[in-house]
Chains A and B, each alone.
Chain A
Amino acid sequence: MILETLLVSAPDWAIRHSTVLIPIIPLIAAPVLAMSPSSRLAWFLALAATAASFYFALLTLGIVQATPGGVISYHIGNWPPPIGIEFRVDALNAMILLIVTAMGFLASIFSWPTIVAEVRKEKIGLFLCAFLLCFGGLCGVAATGDAFNLFVFLEISSLSTYVLVAMGSSRDRRALPAAFDYLIMGTIGASFYIIGVGFLYAATGTLNMADISAQLPSLGGNRSMQVGFAFIIVGLGLKAAMWPLHQWLPNAYAYSPSFVTMFLAATATKVALYALIRWLFTIFHPDFAFEQALFYWVLAPLGIAAMVICSFQAVFQTDIRRMLAYSSVAQVGYMILGVSIATAAGVSAGLLHLFNHSLMKGALFMAVAGVCLNYQGTTIRDFAGLGRSAPFTMTAFAIAGLSLIGVPLTAGFISKLQLGYALFDHGWWWAVLLVVFSSFLAVFYIGRVLQAVFFQPPVNPRKHRKEAPLLLLVPLWILALANIYFGIDASFPAGLALDGAVAALGLEAFQ
């Protein structure tokens, strides 16, 4: 009903242009930020821009749910779709846009104390400018309906991400090689994507996603279409940190400024995964024989490998951020496994896990940022005994950690349960066992940290009783409580995920 009140109160122009305003506002605000004289003003502007995007994303979701077909098509510059660029939002991207903008908004609230501590003062405006570019690029990827436009937005967000990761060098110089490796691999991924789009353009003569999808069935077993498909899957898989293309991720997450880690973990891989789902289901269709082979022989095994192997790797990390980064790759594995079943239940379980994962990883990395701020360390040893000196931060960390494991009454439980049901329905009971096994590994790596936090005496000599600042605690607790709330009443995210899956697969999957 919040959405309905928003819809009623929104002015006419906002309803008409809401889809395009989501990425445009941060992109326009970014250069203004770079020139702003005071860093505090820059922060306020970034906050306002992300809040505006969040508002328009809510509005877009409301419009999508209110329209009968569930699709908003916005023609940029009033050029009709096959020729002009189209922004096309259905239930699937509306959900992704909501996640990205909500996390971006929460991230920019808590960014102030951490960037003051970690970024040089004269660089803060530029830093926030890069953040807004990244944010706008991600929103653009989620909103656009044009294959080439998606590449451009992907590169806008990636290029600013490299800069953001490298800014961690003031704390640890290892951020620089991490950013460079990310640059090489990210650019190769985006280039693969663009090669694939080229092959599809050669086969269909169009770049509009809906148009490509309409032309593909008539091509039959055209070879260049299949080659294009392969290139696109690899390219987007690299961006989404699909195992074994995730090598850039642990270092990039471990050494970037803590605010950046939180924002990236909650949004960047999610958006790439969305693009992957879009290509797999909306543009190409699961009916194609080569795509079924891909699901069965590539995506499902890779998803399982990710969740088992990377959970194992997470158990042996001593740095908390690195551990959470490996866990992120494992969670991407769950989503890919859900997607690879290619049934409505599977895709919606994958999307639900995507939603919940951004809630829990957002909360976990935010708590780590709070610790990093006061205690200047992110190893397990630095965390020892923090349950007593920073109870609020650490309780939120514990809640999100339990959600990551999948303890009942938390959001993580619901999505793993859904994934389990979907796998059972598909007859893959062995995969259910592996999901349980991987959750068991999560008990180890999260449990190890919780044990140190709550049951060990503090050993860090720099430690004094200090809670994270209020600006950080408020968004942190919003996320932590959301983890519990959506674990008890999951109707909102489950509805979003189901609508998204329906939109991705086409309505006939439900009859």
Chain B
Amino acid sequence: MWEFALDHAGYWAIIGLMMISLYIAFSAENLIKRLVGLSLFQTTICLFYVTLGKVTGGTAPVLLPSDMPVHEVAHEALGGGGADAHLLAGAGERVADLAHTYSNPLPHVLMLTAIVVGVATLSVGLALIVRIREAYGSIEADDVRAIDVETAIAQEAEAEKDLQEATA
């Protein structure tokens, strides 16, 4: 039991962080805090992917000299157009040939994209908060809601008055 829990310590940490950040994003009244929660949530996803890519005993996914491919000749024989077929055919047995174990690099690459998406989301969110501050003078969600309700009631009253004037 304990062994299982400790083996997956990384995942437990990720689950905990995910819950905390999601809770912040839902419940915080301050808009900045909500954005912080959201950002944390996205970062946790990056952690999750990076943990997935880790192979036990694996090193960073950069080929060490002893694993350097020696297929320069083969490459030329195949020509430029055959590069794909060569890559595909090589993918299976190459893993078995390697002297060292490497972690899976693909999740890291995916997370580069996800980080860019996260930065874009954060900046759009912050820009919106600046505009909300200009328009409402507050960045507390409940203040903004209260102001909205007030305006709605005022508008309704004004429309009612217009209607009465029109019918009178």
A-side residues, CB < 8 A to B, are 78-80, 83, 148, 151-152, 155, 159, 162-163, 166, 169, 173-174, 176-177, 179-180, 183-184, 187-188, 190-191, 194-195, 198, 201-202, 207, 379, 381, 459, 461
Q: Is the CB–CB distance between A78 and B38 below 8 Å?
A: no
> Shortest beta-carbon distance, B168 to chain A, in Å?
12
Expressed in whole angstroms, the minimum distance between the Cβ of B30 and any Cβ of chain A is 12
- The smallest C-beta distance from B125 to any residue of chain A, in angstroms, reads 5
Whether A191 touches B42, Cβ cut-off 8 Å, given contacts A173-B135, A180-B128, A180-B129, is yes
- Stretch of B57-65, B66-74, B106-114 on the interface side: B106-114
Q: Are B120 and A159 within 8 A (Cβ)?
A: yes
How would you classify the secondary structure of chain A's contact residues: helix, strand, loop or mixed?
helix
Q: Is the CB of B128 within 8 A of A176?
A: yes
Instruction: Using CB atoms, name the residue of chain B closest to A77.
Output: B84
CB contacts (< 8 Å) of B42 on chain A: these are: 187, 191
Are A176 and B117 CB-contacts (below 8 A) given A83-B88, A188-B25?
A: no
- Proximity string of chain B (140-167) to chain A, C-beta cutoff 8 Å, 1 when within and 0 when not: 0100110010010000000100110011
A83-B91, A152-B113, A176-B131 given; A184·B124 CB < 8 A: no
Q: Cα distance A460–B11 when bound, in Å?
A: 61
Give the contacting residue for A183; candidates B113, B121, B135; CB below 8 A: B121
20 A-B contact pairs sorted by A residue (CB < 8 Å) = A83-B91, A151-B114, A162-B124, A169-B135, A174-B151, A177-B145, A177-B148, A180-B125, A180-B132, A184-B38, A184-B125, A187-B121, A188-B38, A188-B41, A198-B48, A201-B107, A207-B110, A379-B159, A459-B166, A461-B162
- The answer to whether B45 touches A195 (Cβ under 8 A) is yes
Give the residues in chain B near A166, CB-CB below 8 Å.
128, 131
On whether the beta carbons of A148 and B110 are closer than 8 Å, the reply is yes
Give the contacting residue for B87; candidates A83, A163, A180, A188; CB below 8 A.
A83
Determine which residue in B114, B141, B144, B151 has the highest number of CB atoms from chain A within 10 A of its CB, and name it.
Answer: B114
Is B129 touching A461 in the complex (CB atoms < 8 A)? no
A176 to B139, CA, bound (A): 11
Q: Which residues of A contact B121 (CB under 8 A)?
A: 155, 159, 183, 187
- Min distance, Cβ B72 to any Cβ of chain A, angstroms: 21
Give chain B residues whose Cβ lies under 8 Å from the Cβ of A159. Answer: 117, 120-121, 124
- B22 interface residue (CB < 8 Å to A): yes
The answer to whether B17 has its CB under 8 Å from any CB of chain A is no
Q: Are B91 and A201 in contact (CB under 8 A)?
A: no
| Interchain CB contact under 8 A, B52 and A202 | yes
- For B49, what are the chain A residues with a Cβ–Cβ distance below 8 Å? 198
Complexed CA–CA distance, A80 and B83 (Å): 11
Q: Which residues of A contact B52 (CB under 8 A)?
A: 198, 201-202
Contact indicator B117/A152 (Cβ below 8 Å): yes
CA distance A183 to B128 in the complex (A): 10
Determine the distance from Cα of A184 to Cα of B52 in the docked complex, in whole angstroms: 26
Q: Tell me the nearest residue of chain A to B165, going by C-beta.
A: A461
Question: Which B positions have Cβ atoms within 8 angstroms of A?
Answer: 22, 25, 31, 34-35, 38, 41-42, 45, 48-49, 52, 84, 87-88, 91, 107, 110, 113-114, 117, 120-121, 124-125, 128-129, 131-132, 135-136, 141, 144-145, 148, 151, 159, 162-163, 166-167
Q: Which of B22, B38, B148, B166 contacts A174 (CB 8 A)?
A: B148
Kindly state the separation between the CA atoms of A463 and B110 in the bound complex, as whole angstroms. Answer: 55
* A191 and B41 contact, CB distance less than 8 A: yes
Interfacial chain B residues near A461, Cβ < 8 Å = 162, 166
Smallest CB–CB gap between A356 and chain B, Å?
33
Given contacts A174-B148, A176-B131, A201-B52, contact A194 B45 (CB under 8 A): yes
List residues of chain A with CB within 8 A of the CB of B159.
Answer: 379, 381
Given contacts A152-B117, A166-B131, A202-B52, 17 further A-B contacts (CB under 8 A): A148-B110, A155-B121, A159-B117, A162-B128, A169-B131, A173-B135, A173-B136, A180-B125, A180-B132, A184-B35, A184-B38, A191-B41, A191-B45, A195-B48, A207-B110, A379-B159, A381-B163
Closest Cβ–Cβ distance, residue B34 to chain A (whole Å): 6
Q: Point out the residues of chain A lying under 8 angstroms from B84, CB to CB.
A: 78-80
Residue of B41, B129, B131 with most chain A CB atoms under a 10 A cut-off: B131
* B117 contacts across to A, CB distance below 8 A: 152, 155, 159, 190
Write out the residue numbers on chain A whose beta carbons fall within 8 Å of the beta carbon of B87: 83
In the assembled complex, the CB of A371 is this many whole angstroms from the nearest CB of chain B, namely 16
A191 contacts across to B, CB distance below 8 A: 41-42, 45
Kindly list the 5 A-B residue pairs having the minimum CB-CB distance in the complex, ordered from nearest.
A173-B135, A155-B117, A176-B132, A180-B128, A202-B52
Question: Contacts A79-B84, A195-B45; is A184 near B34 (CB within 8 Å)?
Answer: yes
* A176 CA / B126 CA spacing, docked (Å): 12
Roughly how many angstroms separate A195 CA and B44 CA in the complex, as a whole number? 10
Interchain CA distance A148-B136 in the complex, whole Å: 38
- For B91, the chain A residues whose CB sits under 8 A away are 83
Q: Are A198 and B45 in contact (CB-based, < 8 A)?
A: yes
Inter-chain contacts of A179 with B (CB < 8 A): 128
Contacts of A459 in B (CB 8 A): 162-163, 166-167
How distant is the Cα of A83 from the Cα of B131 in the complex, in angstroms?
43
Bound Cα distance A179, B35 (Å): 13
Q: Is the CB of B124 within 8 A of A183?
A: yes
Contacts of A155 in B (CB 8 A): 117, 120-121
User: How far apart sit A80 and B128, CA to CA, in the bound complex (Å)?
Assistant: 41
Instruction: Name which residue of chain A comes closest to B167, CB basis.
Output: A459
B34: A residues at CB distance < 8 A = 184
Is B124 a contact of A80 with CB atoms below 8 Å?
A: no
CB contacts (< 8 Å) of B166 on chain A: these are 459, 461
Chain A residues with Cβ below 8 Å from B110 are 148, 207
B124 contacts A163, C-beta separation under 8 Å: yes
Please give, as numbers and ranges, the residues of chain B lying within 8 Å of A174 by CB-CB distance: 148, 151
Residues of A within 8 Å of B113, CB to CB, are: 148, 152
CB-defined contacts of B162 to chain A, threshold 8 Å: 459, 461
Contact between B132 and A177, CB atoms less than 8 A apart: yes
CA distance A201 to B110 in the complex (A): 11
